[in-house]
A and B are shown apart, each in its own frame.
Chain A
Amino acid sequence: MLSTAALLANSTPAQLLPARELMAFTLASHILLVPFGVALPFITLLMHHRALRRDDPVALTLARRWSAVMAVQFAIGVITGTVLSFEFGLLWPGMMGRWGDVFGLGFGVEAWAFFLEAVLIAIYLYGWRRLRPWTHFWLAVPLPPAALMGAFGIIAANSWMNTPQGFSLDAQGKPVHVDVQQAVFTPMFGPEYWHFVVAMLLTAGYVVAGVYAVGWLRGRRDRYHRLGFTVPFTVAAILTPVQFMLGDSAARAVFHKQPIKFAAMEIVWKTDTHVPEYMFGRLNSDGTLSGGLKIPQLDSILAGFKPSTRVTGLTSVPAADRPTVVQATIAHWAFDIMVTVGSVLVLLALWYAWCWWRHRDNPRSRWFYRCAALAGAACLVTVECGWITTEVGRQPWIVYNHMRVSEAVTSTRAGSLWAMLGIVMVVYVAVFGAFLAVVLKMRTRWRIADEGSAAARAAPPPEADTPYGPRGEPAAAGAAPDHTPGGTS
């Protein structure tokens, strides 16, 4: 038994490494846009609602500008996501062939949710000019729920990979008697889903607020910046403590359902009670630890609320069935960074709450705005770390305890995969770079306009306000007064 396992582990196919790197790279890129796909519509709608309710032109400008950014961001999210769907087939045909019908349904939900999202977002983004204001607003209200449905599908699939169930195996090890409800609502689903959704809201909130925090630091202290900062920051600050608690319960769910992953996250080598907690540090191949901060007893207490809690160690399973020491160290660091950032964000949120409680106003300290400006970037890093914890901690399994990554991987030659990885990296760096440049350019245009220097720089003549798009033609023609009966509509 041990020897076959070791054999399997040793016969790691050469294409495994590039396939993993490719998957990790494309997912890590896609996930940077997801917070905005999931949560930016919600934050924008909050602002939009305020604008309509109080007839507030500043809020309206903010909502419009955010939706102009959303238009570009959504497109990049769509294409990077489409690549992922292809990659399931291109990189992991073994997993899809064997398990596709067990866990694929989540993706079915996801596909339809994205459909709804793509339709609604198009109506929202392009409806500003001609739809009636409240109609326009209400047509966009289903957007956040649709985004949550999309996340539901993805997380259902991912949590199934972490804690697979809803099937039994026949003599050849093929899944039979599939039970879809069980396969969707796996034990990890609940903790993972809520933690994820809140992470997305948090990240979008802090990133958007961060943009205006930077403006504030540069001395732009008008109402526009104040509003642009306060609305998203408040959303994020309220959710930060919630996220802390959700993260804690996610960690305990991992402890119960994926003990080996938990051992990797906390680098527990031997099963024991009274296990200390290590902050950072590196695991050596003999099970010793270098560096790191040791807090006695704490790990057991966190996992089961008392020092006598027994924590499963990495060595409780054969070496071939657990993450390598390097992988365990990676998962551990990723986890610790996530927890650190999460805790620091709680302090930031408390600072904000304190100022509102005492002064009914935003904090005035420059340090607060410096931290707020960093919070967005820190959140993006944390999101990456969370996923690295989840994915690297699951190794060597692609489907926890049921299929190894090496069994799922494509048989395409490693060379082709490395080439593809190279191409994808170049393309993504270019696309993300261009995306960032475009968004920064938009910001510059808005700033120049707001500073009123636009006039000095030759304001565009009125008919040139759409530099493309044939709106220059008589506007009435757009409405096509001479509709042929039974025509286009």
Chain B
Amino acid sequence: MADFIAWVLVIAIAAYACAGGTDYGAGLWDLLAGGAERGKRPRRLIDHAMAPVWEANNVWLIFVLVIMWTGFPTMFQAVFSAMWLPLALAAAGLVLRGAGFALRKPTRRLAQRRIYGAMFAVSSLVTPFFLGAVLGGIASGRVKVGTTASAHAWANGTSVLTGLLAIAATAFLGAVFLFSDARRFGAHDLVDYFRLRALIAFGAVVVLALIGLPVTHDDARYVWDGLTGGWGLLLIILAAVCGLATVLLVLRRSYGWSRYTSVASVALVVGAWGFAQRPYLLPTSLTVAEAAGAAHTLRWLVIVTGIAIVLVGPALVLLYRLDTLGELEELTAADTGAARTPGDNL
């Protein structure tokens, strides 16, 4: 039972990495889109593509937290005690990012839009970095039950590298999705724009992964071994195949499938990490079985999860489907009967 919940946790993390990751990546490209004039069209596209789905994507994170504290309370306590600062900063980033994004949309003044946009874009960089750093710290065995908060837990090679890798992976996902969104919304000039960026981001992922091999070899030995042998290795290879397939598909301008392969590559890496950590939740100090909460609760967690999959699954499919079919569009000023006010300059 505890193993099952642990896998649910891994899957939820993978889902957040893919769904939330795409949005973070979009934020990164928003940041790098250049000045107000030059970046106007990519920003429009990002706004338009992200708006209907980002809140739903964010809920995966809540779900991850809930499974952690309900299923594995000791682990939750240990992680949040040891990783206090990066998690606090990630939370701050989440607030600024969501607020920036949500407030930018209805704003019509350039100066204000700039501020909100900057909030959104910068925190899209900060949040995945710190979340990645936390995962890196856990993977390298720096979190144990009773570890108190210290910079050592997250300011180290493995953590920093994982954080950067998280940023690169989100950038990759974001670019691949925006690449096909650009075509979907008829912004044909942006197709090549994001195509190029998808390739660059993939390059960054590969470079970081290669740097990571020696850096983590001694530092995160247990996970390193897990990733270079057995199931972990298999999934990593599959992830690499998917990643390369994405590159080929993007190069050949295949709009639909490239999304799936890019998502698969990220999800497989998370899955590989799950295999590599087995049987530990916190490598080499706390196993899944030791950390598990009360059996009765776990059983109920499975039931609740099951019911929810039945309820939420179809809704989520409907949302993504309506979104990709272009059925979801924002209300315009004309729809709500809104006028311009003095000072509007957009």
Chain A: residues with CB nearer than 8 A to chain B? 61, 64-65, 67-68, 71-72, 74-76, 78-83, 85-90, 93-94, 96-102, 104-105, 107-112, 114-116, 118-123, 125-131, 139, 167, 175-180, 410-412, 416, 420, 423-424, 427-428, 431, 434-435, 438, 441-442, 444-446, 448-450, 453-454, 457-460, 465-471, 473-474, 477-480, 484, 486-489
Contact = CB atoms under 8 A, between A and B. Distances in A.
B66 A122 contact: no
Contact of A105 (B257, B259, B304): B304
Contacts of A444: 341
10 contacts: A86-B94, A96-B80, A97-B77, A105-B300, A105-B304, A119-B312, A130-B329, A131-B327, A180-B297, A473-B186
A445 B341 contact: yes
B14 to A, nearest CB: 16
A27 B74 CA distance: 24
Contacts of A486: 256-257
Contacts of A71: 102, 105-106, 331
Contact of B297 (A72, A178, A458): A178
4 tightest A-B contacts by CB? A101-B293, A477-B186, A97-B77, A89-B80
A104 B43 contact: no
Interface in B320-346: 321-322, 324-342, 346
B341 A438 contact: no
A178 to B, nearest CB: 4
B107 interface: yes
Given A75-B99, A86-B65, A470-B41, A112 B308 contact: yes
A466 B330 contact: yes
Given A80-B95, A94-B77, A122-B55, A100 B69 contact: yes
B183 A115 contact: no
A484 B255 contact: yes
Contact of B341 (A64, A100, A448, A474): A448
Given A129-B332, A416-B84, 20 more contacts: A61-B336, A90-B87, A96-B77, A99-B73, A101-B71, A112-B305, A115-B59, A127-B327, A167-B294, A180-B300, A412-B84, A427-B92, A427-B95, A441-B341, A459-B340, A469-B48, A470-B44, A471-B329, A478-B185, A489-B325
B322 A127 contact: yes
B107 to A, nearest CB: 7
Contacts of A488: 180, 184, 255-256, 259, 324
Contact of B328 (A109, A126, A167, A177): A126
Contact of B66 (A107, A416, A427): A107
A459 B339 contact: yes
B138 to A, nearest CB: 14
A445 B58 contact: no
A445 B333 contact: yes
A93 B95 contact: no
B333 A465 contact: yes
B287 interface: no
A197 B328 CA distance: 30
A97 B73 contact: yes
A118 B55 contact: yes
A111 B60 CA distance: 8
B103 A100 contact: no
How many B residues are at the interface, by size bracket?
35 or more
By secondary structure, the A interface counts as helix
A181 to B, nearest CB: 8
Given A83-B94, A122-B56, A64 B335 contact: yes
A479 B183 CA distance: 10
A145 to B, nearest CB: 11
Contacts of A139: 318
B233 to A, nearest CB: 30
Given A101-B297, A180-B300, A477-B185, A118 B81 contact: no
B155 interface: no
Interface in B52-74: 52-53, 55-56, 58-59, 61-63, 65-67, 69-71, 73-74
Interface in B76-90: 76-81, 84-85, 87-88, 90
A104 B62 contact: no
A479 B319 contact: no
A22 B48 CA distance: 35
Contacts of B199: none
B339 A448 contact: yes
Nearest to A446: B338
A470 B324 contact: no
Nearest to B90: A86
Given A96-B69, A118-B58, A410-B81, A126 B330 contact: yes
Contacts of A179: 296
